[in-house]
């Protein structure tokens, strides 16, 4: 009883010290009167944003990680104290059953347009939603938005910092990431030309890949390359192999997750006669990014470094 009373007093004190804040979440302005106390995040990359901001004590769990075999040792240690409430996308009942008051997700990152879990369907149960910036293209007008950029990551960290009353922590983190990346890139030799890069996520009949609104487009640009589908007004999407062959990529970035390994994806491309004339295949230039590196999250910094080194033959 004493513990409950103390907790209540601390919660009231925290709420009184927290100025009301409003953040932009895709096409919605969302106002918070106090930091959420029972947050749930979906997917490994969004959950990692919560972890680097030190928000574990504001969380009651996470969802959508082990169902796609994305959990690595770093992440496993980070979420050791949190339950996975659902291996894939959570149902509305899962979030309500956890007494959640906040859901950090994105479109195709724990929510589907027209699905049962959306900001509108969760609002009546007191669950506020913040949507991943990269995913906003799915509820906006294609062509009206700029291509993905590293700012998408920084915007999400900054907004989460405001929502949870840890803006100083978020700004310090962002400044550290930006300085680290700038220093790393400044020490590399310049590239004579931006290499043409294809992102191979999955699929054999037709590849699932990244258009201009998906995070790899930003990672490739930050590293000095150009996505061969930079002119495609899509986020993560499926295209025909003809588009890949016509663009003749010099480097192929494999996104590693799920049941098909990165080595199997590389073998598929190396051993298929249709790809024999691609510069990337002829010169065996493949780079592997883990799923958590290729999607918006703290490990984007490492991903840019990996790509920048690979583009220079390191």
For range 156-174, the mean pLDDT = 98
For range 58-84, the mean pLDDT = 83
Of residues 15 and 202, more confidence is placed in 202
So what's the pLDDT on residue 152? 96
Distances (CA, A) of 160 to 53, 145, 243, 304: 8, 22, 38, 23
Six-digit token pair at 124? 């009546």
For range 93-100, the mean pLDDT = 98
Of residues 80 and 246, more confidence is placed in 246
So what's the pLDDT on residue 73? 74
So what's the pLDDT on residue 69? 63
For the packed helices 150-163 and 215-223, what is the interaxial angle rounded to 10 degrees?
120
Q: How confident is the model at residue 9 (pLDDT cuts 50, 70, 90)?
A: very low
At a CB cut-off of 8 Å and minimum separation 6, what does 179 contact? none
So what's the pLDDT on residue 7? 42
Q: How confident is the model at residue 142 (pLDDT cuts 50, 70, 90)?
A: low
pLDDT higher than threshold 90 for residue 19: no
Neighbours of 194 (CB within 10 A): 15
pLDDT higher than threshold 50 for residue 35: yes
Six-digit token pair at 197? 């890069």
Q: What is the mean pLDDT of the chain?
A: 92
pLDDT higher than threshold 90 for residue 50: yes
For range 7-27, the mean pLDDT = 70
pTM of the model: 0.90
For range 26-46, the mean pLDDT = 96
pLDDT digits over 185-221, tens only? 999 999 999 999 999 999 999 999 999 999 999 999 9
């Amino acid at each position: 009883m004493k513990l409950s009373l103390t907790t209540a007093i601390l919660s009231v004190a925290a709420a009184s010290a927290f100025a009301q804040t409003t953040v932009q979440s895709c096409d919605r302005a969302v106002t918070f009167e106090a930091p959420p106390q029972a947050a749930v995040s979906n997917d490994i990359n969004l959950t990692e944003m919560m972890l680097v901001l030190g928000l574990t004590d504001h969380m009651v769990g996470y969802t959508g990680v082990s169902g796609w075999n994305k959990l690595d040792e770093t992440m496993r240690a980070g979420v050791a104290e949190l339950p996975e409430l659902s291996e894939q996308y959570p149902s509305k009942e899962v979030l309500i059953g956890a007494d959640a008051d906040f859901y950090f997700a994105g479109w195709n990152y724990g929510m589907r347009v027209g699905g049962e879990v959306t900001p509108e369907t969760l609002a009546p149960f007191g669950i506020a939603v913040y949507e991943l910036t990269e995913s906003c293209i799915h509820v906006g007008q294609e062509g009206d938005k700029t291509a993905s950029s590293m700012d998408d990551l920084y915007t999400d960290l900054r907004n989460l910092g405001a929502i949870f009353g840890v803006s100083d922590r978020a700004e310090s983190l962002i400044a550290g990431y930006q300085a680290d990346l700038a220093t790393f890139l400044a020490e590399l030799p310049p590239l004579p030309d931006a290499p043409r890069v294809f992102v191979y996520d999955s699929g054999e009949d037709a590849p699932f890949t990244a258009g201009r609104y998906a995070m790899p487009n930003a990672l490739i640009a930050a590293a000095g390359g150009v996505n061969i589908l930079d002119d495609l007004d899509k986020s993560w999407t499926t295209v025909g192999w003809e588009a890949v062959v016509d663009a003749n990529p010099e480097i192929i970035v494999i996104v590693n997750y799920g049941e098909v390994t990165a080595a199997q994806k590389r073998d598929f491309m190396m051993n298929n006669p249709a790809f024999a004339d691609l510069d990337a295949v002829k010169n065996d230039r493949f780079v592997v990014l883990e799923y958590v590196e290729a999607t918006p999250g703290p490990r984007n910094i490492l991903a840019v470094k990996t790509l920048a080194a690979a583009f220079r033959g390191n």
